Amino acid sequence: MDHSRRDFLKKATATGAAILAAPTVFGTGAFPKKQKAADATAPFKLKYAPSIGMFHEHAGNDIIDNIKFCYDMGFRAMFDNGLMGRPVDDQVKIANEMHRLGMELGPFVLYADFAVTSFVLNKPEIREMLVNKMKEGVEVAKRTGVKWALVVPGRYDEKLHRDFQTANVIDNLRYCCDVMEPAGLTIVLEPLNTLHDHQGLFLNGIPQAYAICRAVNRPVCKIVDDIYHQQITEGNLIPNIEAAWSEIAAFHLGDTPGRNEPGTGEINFKNVFKYIYSRKYEGVLCMEHGISMKGKEGEERVIQAYRECDSYEV
């Protein structure tokens, strides 16, 4: 082990100790007494996935150091929405380090144009554009081994009946699946809230996404359930997860209001995670949220929040 790696591990261990000593974000007390110091860096029960760079105050700006830090803090997955836009050398570097550590790389954003109508239209030029975009995603998957590509179907068309739009989305997704299926790359459709963040988008609810996936009826067309968005859109989180379970392939996380780490808003993440764990879920839960406090203290509070939410009895 070289000196830089030894120093890095010392840094990670010190952070774990600081997390245990800090007051919890869920109240003024410390962690439960039954939690041992070693638990501060033990693997989490679920594959919570920080974004690359989330803990830059501790890990710096180097991509590999960020991945190593997350591993040393107990995380066994990462995600990078902008993976597709990274230089090929960086994509390969990320993939190699994740593979070396036995970590999972969560969904990257393949197509999410919030400004245009696309999937809802029955037009050859739209279909050609989408198919070409899927081919680009397949090339990223070949280099990185990533299994999921996030897709947002874009805006709805005010001039076209909703049912026709739904039929067009289903048809266009089938063309996309023709590209993705041979490569083993799964599309994960993300419903987004239109009440606060993304007015005018076609896909906004888990029941709607579930119905579309069932109609597409292809194993590589699934859902990413964004807990933040769905708490705003419909609430009823656990029952909707249960109802749509067969079509959910990934999760995004964020509390509301505020879209920061668990414990800063109204969602009972400990119960949500306990339910997901009870279903023997082995996929990724992307930590797609901000940090409520600045600096190293803020990063430590994020890790602490996940430790508390992950402390349910099994």
Residue ranges covered by each domain of the chain: 42-309
At 8 the pLDDT is 45
pLDDT digits (tens, 9 = 90+) for 225-271: 999 999 999 999 999 999 999 999 999 999 999 999 999 999 999 99
Q: Count Cβ atoms within 10 A of the Cβ of residue 158 and give its class: 0-12 exposed, 13-18 middle, 19 or more buried.
A: exposed
CA angle at 86 for the pair 81 and 88, rounded to the nearest 5°? 130
Alpha-carbon torsion, ordered 254, 257, 262, 266, to 10 deg: -120
Among residues 134, 108, 136, the alpha carbon closest in space to that of 284 is found at 108
Question: Is residue 2 over pLDDT 50?
Answer: no
At 27 the pLDDT is 38
Quickly count: other Cβ atoms within 10 Å of residue 190's Cβ: 22
Per-residue pLDDT band for 39 (boundaries 50, 70, 90) equals confident
Give me 65's structure tokens: 């150091």
Fold of 42-309: TIM Barrel (3.20.20)
Per-residue pLDDT band for 1 (boundaries 50, 70, 90) equals very low
Q: Cβ contacts of residue 301 below 8 Å, gap of 6+?
A: 22, 25, 261, 291, 292, 293
At 186 the pLDDT is 98
pLDDT digits (tens, 9 = 90+) for 130-170: 999 999 999 999 999 999 999 999 999 999 999 999 999 99
Q: Positive or negative, the Cα torsion across 299, 303, 308, 309?
A: positive
CB 302 within 8 A of CB 262: no
Per-residue pLDDT band for 25 (boundaries 50, 70, 90) equals very low
Mean pLDDT along residues 18-36: 41
At 14 the pLDDT is 53
Per-residue pLDDT band for 38 (boundaries 50, 70, 90) equals low
Write the CA distances from 136 to 129, 153, 237, integer angstroms: 11, 17, 33
Mean pLDDT along residues 58-79: 97
At 314 the pLDDT is 87
pLDDT digits (tens, 9 = 90+) for 87-137: 999 999 999 999 999 999 999 999 999 999 999 999 999 999 999 999 999
pLDDT digits (tens, 9 = 90+) for 186-228: 999 999 999 999 999 999 999 999 999 999 999 999 999 999 9
At 120 the pLDDT is 98
Residues catalogued as catalytic: 190, 288
User: How far apart are alpha carbons 136 and 104 in whole angstroms?
Assistant: 21
At 206 the pLDDT is 98
